[in-house]
Amino acid sequence: MFRRTKLILALLAASIASGATFALAQDSQSQSWSEVKCARYKKAWSEALTRRGTQGLGREFLDNHEAFLASGCMAQANVCPKSAEELELANIMVILAMNAGTASTFLPFSCRK
């Protein structure tokens, strides 16, 4: 599982980095920083799901994450990874978000109970 996670991270990081220079120039001119972070995060999420699929991801996890995205990434963190697959994806997203320049407090992952 560790090798698969590393491969997914490498592929996603390369994908995001390939368009980073152009995106940075465009982003800063037309969107707020919150909008830029959310757009980068949405792209990384979409690519991660495309590459790894949704097997092992629960409906609650996916629905809460979708609510976060639908809010423009402004909703309170309420996405709690419970399965090993959910935790793996959350860890991937933390790394990708940090690589995209977003703060760790931006992320939607939190288990309140």
Reported residue count of the chain is 113
Work out the mean pLDDT of the chain and round it to a whole number. Answer: 83
Q: Are 92 and 8 in contact (CB under 8 A)?
A: yes
Q: What is the pLDDT of residue 17?
A: 54
Residue 106's nearest CA partner among 5, 25, 18, 34 is 34
The structure tokens 């978000």 sit at: 97
Kindly indicate the confidence band of residue 21, based on its pLDDT and cuts at 50, 70 and 90.
very low
Q: Torsion-angle region of residue 73: left (phi > 0), alpha (psi -120 to 50) or beta?
A: left
User: Closest Cα partner for 65 from 49, 9, 51?
Assistant: 49
